[in-house]
Structure 1
Amino acid sequence: MLRSWPFVILSNPIIASILNIGGLWILYTTGLYGLMQQNILLHALVHVHVFIAGYLFTASMIYMDPTSHQFSFMFRAIVFAISLAGHDILSKYIYAHPPSGVIKAQAENGGMLMYYAGDAIDLLLICILCHQWFRATRPRESLVQLQE
């Protein structure tokens, strides 16, 4: 299943970022947020999408398991940086322009939570990505010993 073409497409960092960050933009900048509050099935579907998209995004940025279609660290870092910007811009947008039906004070608190909590999670993901990058590019001890 992990080698199937749908999974290869969905696990591309660009596609995963669009599903994750783009889904949040659609949720908070359209009438979807208000509709979600009125329909329990839609509410559940949105939460499932947010969970799966976030998981897929994380899995496409940092590889914990071997995968047959890995992207370079540089490519993932660039896509990650763009995604972080999209997330931070959205949190500031929510702070200034609450979704329909949301009280301004609640939107401000939600925007700040999204911004600062997102940064904490992003920092953790950045550390893991950089650690993996470092481990993949450092010279192996056995090679260093052979060269001496």
Structure 2
Amino acid sequence: MHAGAGSGLLETLAPVLALPACAGGYLLLAHRARRRNAARAWSAWRTASFITGLALLAVALLPPVAPLAHSDFRGHMAQHMLIGMYAPLALVLGASMTLLLRTLPAPRARLLSALLHSRAARLLTHPAVALLLSTGGLALLYFTPLYTTTVSHPAGHWLLHAHFLLSGCLFAHAIAGPDPAPARPGVPARLVYLGCAIAAHAVISQLMYGGFWVDIHAPIPEVQGGAEIMYYGGDIAELLLAAALVATWRPDRRPRPVKASPSQPFARA
């Protein structure tokens, strides 16, 4: 399960260099947004959420969690929870696309808006697709030889991290993201997709704990411990996602047309 010393150095240096750069870029854009429109300053809560997401990624990708993830399946699962569920929710609530739209020059903002409204973006950000990529990928990872293959190669390990992070961000965005999402269905439908994710996580973790169909080359106590982390940690993350859905939900306040009754044939909407 060890990826080698070179991989360990890379996994230490990459987040040390990339995460502060991401934080600096976000803070710079937030400062520009405040300068452009002082009356509508960028939310400090959004900024704090994005920085928290980066901090969670740092915890997952740096010692002591990163070395433990190579040697103990429980460490791998804790890392997976941070990269694939907790950090994505915090990053998505930072509304980075909205911040970009506010700070980019008008032509580039229109181009980004057109990209977000494209057919490919609508398909990719639909909750059904995001659920398949995030939760469906777990079954493929742990019930096939894919897990052993990815952790045995440095490139595969980084691709696994990228998949966890991007699919987690897609699902959090599809369910409760504050950024524009033209294909996002209503709140009842999103609650159904969230319920499906909760059920799928529970089933996968229980099958893993019982040793049914899993293809994980690790001691049984480690696999069972990882299953418990997935079960309870996933529940907490999904409750936070549900809370974010409620917090970001904006009911439709448009007045409904008044139907004319037989006694009032000329009633106006």
TM bucket (normalised to shorter chain) is 0.7 to 0.9
- Cα distance change of structure 1 residues 138 and 107 upon mapping to structure 2, 3 Å threshold: farther
| Aligned partner of 1:111 among 223, 227, 237 | 227
SS at match of 1:70: coil
Residues 1:99 and 2:215 are matched in the alignment: yes
Using structure 2 for the length normalisation, give the TM-score.
Answer: 0.49
Indicate the residue corresponding to 1:90 in structure 2.
204
Identity of aligned residues (%): 29
Find the counterpart in structure 1 of residue 16 from structure 2: none
Distance in 2, matches of 1:25 and 1:69, equals 26
Shift of 1:45: 0.9
* Two-structure CA RMSD over aligned residues (Å): 1.9
User: TM-score of the superposition, structure 1-length normalised?
Assistant: 0.86
Q: Which of 127, 131, 137 pairs up with 1:23?
A: 137
User: In structure 1, how many angstroms separate the alpha carbons of the residues matched to 2:253 and 2:233?
Assistant: 32
CA shift, 1:119, in A, is: 0.8
Partners in 2 of 1:120 and 1:110 — Cα distance? Answer: 15
Does the Cα contact within 8 Å between 2:208 and 2:223 map onto a contact in 1?
yes
Task: Give the residue type in structure 2 aligned to 1:60.
Answer: A
How many Å separate the matches in 2 of 1:51 and 1:58?
Answer: 11
Q: Which residue of 1 aligns with 2:26?
A: none
Which secondary structure state, in structure 2, belongs to the residue aligned with residue 136 of structure 1?
coil
- Which residue of the partner structure matches residue 62 of structure 1? 176
1:63 & 1:94 partners in 2: Cα distance?
30
Q: CA deviation at 1:13?
A: 0.3
Structure number with the bigger relative contact order (C-alpha 8 A, sep ≥ 6) is 1
Distance 2:140 2:230 in 1: 15
Which runs of 5 or more structure 2 residues have no equivalent in the other structure?
1-114, 256-269
Larger C-alpha radius of gyration, 1 or 2?
Answer: 2
Paired residue type of 2:129 = I
Equivalent position of 1:143 in the other structure: none
Contact 1:25 1:90 in 2 (8 A): yes
